Amino acid sequence: MRPKWAKMSPKWWVQADAPDVLCPQETKCGAESVPEELRSLGAFPHQHSPSDRPSYSGVGLLSRTKPLAVTYGMGDPELDAEGHVLTAEFPALRVVCIYAWDERFRSFVSQLDRSKPVAICGDLNVAHQSLDLRNPSGNKRSPGYTREEREAFGELLGAGFLDSFRVFNPLLPNAFTFWTYLSGARARNMGWRLDYCLWSQRGRKDLCDSRIEQRAQGSDHCPVGIYLALEGAG
């Protein structure tokens, strides 16, 4: 059973859910600075930060078992300098932690998917459908909801990936993962769904659940999770 806390701090959420792999974004720190409550999740922290600004942005990954390999970036010097992509390979899958994305990222994960299923986890900065934000009519030209961004995200899904949350909740409204700090937006649930766990379409049978943990406090985003039944995943 899950604890029935009305609200959960990041520490409580990590202890309650005890994920096998944790993928934070905008970490703004190096691997040596990972808080102890996250280190207790597993002994294998990895961090990819901007090369010239280690305290700016960055993505990380912690896992309960040691990955077979960890790749920092996509082999694109221009993008890799931003510290936005980190990939960990396990026996049964690859996990990609990502902050933002573009056409080159779609090509990168499509290549990975040829040899092993891929879980893409992160803040992708786009609300794909009108039910993925509270005020779609007033945000048609807002970054994160432009027609071009939504169509490009659809192309990423079309390359062979599932929006895991919508697999189980195709029409559920108000399931947001981001709220601005202004005007009490979170209390009023005036939000956006910008955070995703995508999963290789060919691994659909292994997809068990996908959840948004809106109770978890401590950020303007909340955690999202994907639940897989894979033999040898770790």
Residues annotated catalytic, as ranges: 99, 123, 221
CA distance 165 to 118: 16
DSSP β-bridge partners for residue 160: none
Q: CB count, 10 Å around CB of 183?
A: 10
Pairing type for strands 21-22 and 59-63 reads: antiparallel
The sign of the dihedral angle between the CA atoms of 192, 198, 204, 209 is negative
Q: What are the DSSP E strand ranges found in the chain?
A: 21-22, 44-48, 59-63, 69-72, 85-89, 94-99, 118-123, 161-163, 195-200, 207-212, 224-228
Helix axes 147-158, 103-113, angle to 10 degrees: 10
Give residue for tokens 């049964």: 92
CA distance 195 to 122: 6
Contact 158, 150 (CB under 8 A): no
Alpha carbon separation from 199 to 29, 72, 216, 227 (Å, rounded): 27, 20, 23, 10
